[in-house]
């Protein structure tokens, strides 16, 4: 069994590499209504290539050759669509990671300069318990009375 290689995103390196602005544009594209339509089109292309192979008549003279050719076409189509999707996600994830890193660096600079630390997320009840020293009363569930 062949080991799965981690495929690099398309246009991630070299002179034709996608710029930071283009990565941001890809990120914005994923949130547009048309993105879901594009994904549907990709799925339809993959389904159509598999159906073309399944529709072959086994009684045809050149059935064996046609099965091999259509299986190759189907595999190439599916791998191309997967590569495009994975590349888009990889570029978008690189933007997200970079933003997170920049935000963490900014928070660290603010902490060093002002001594004010970022708030840690807690449950809403915790703030009341810590501030007032009281516990919130939880409503008691009423039992249904039999008639």
Q: Cβ(45)–Cβ(81) under 8 Å?
A: yes
106-116 burial, b if ≥16 CB within 10 A, otherwise e?
Answer: eeeeeeeeeee
Angle at 105 between CA 102 and CA 111, to 5 degrees: 140
**pLDDT given for residue 1 in this prediction:** 44
**147 residues of the chain, pLDDT tens digit each:** 455 666 678 888 888 888 989 999 999 999 999 999 999 999 999 999 999 989 999 999 999 999 999 999 999 999 999 999 999 999 999 888 988 999 889 888 888 888 877 667 766 677 667 777 776 666 667 777 655
Q: Is residue 146 part of a domain?
A: no
Whether the CB-CB separation of 136 and 125 falls below 8 Å is answered with yes
What's the pLDDT at 13? 85
Nearest-angstrom CA–CA distance, 91 and 93: 5
Query: Considering the domain boundaries, does residue 139 fall inside one?
Result: no
Residue 136: the pLDDT is: 66
pLDDT at 5: 63
The total domain count for the chain is: 1
Does residue 6 belong to any structural domain of this protein? no
User: Where in the sequence is the domain holding 91, given as residue range(s)?
Assistant: 20-132
Residues 14, 102: Cα–Cα separation, whole Å: 25
CB-based contact 94:23 (threshold 8 Å): yes
CA pair distance 50, 43, nearest whole angstrom? 11
Predicted local confidence at residue 147, as pLDDT: 54
What is the H or E stretch that residue 145 is in? none
106 lies in some domain:
yes
pLDDT at 124: 67
């Amino acid at each position: 069994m062949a080991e799965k290689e981690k495929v690099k995103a398309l246009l991630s390196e070299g002179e034709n590499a996608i710029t930071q602005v283009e990565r941001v544009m890809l990120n914005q594209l994923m949130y547009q209504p048309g993105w879901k339509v594009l994904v549907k089109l990709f799925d339809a292309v993959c389904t159509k290539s598999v159906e073309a192979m399944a529709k072959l008549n086994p009684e045809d003279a050149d059935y064996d050759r046609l099965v091999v050719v259509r299986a190759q076409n189907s595999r190439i189509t599916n791998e191309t669509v997967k590569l495009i999707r994975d590349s888009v996600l990889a570029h978008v994830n690189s933007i997200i990671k970079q933003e997170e890193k920049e935000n963490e660096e900014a928070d660290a600079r603010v902490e060093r300069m002002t001594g004010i630390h970022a708030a840690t997320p807690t449950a809403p009840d915790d703030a009341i318990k810590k501030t007032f020293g009281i516990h919130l009363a939880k409503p008691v569930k009423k039992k249904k009375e039999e008639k």
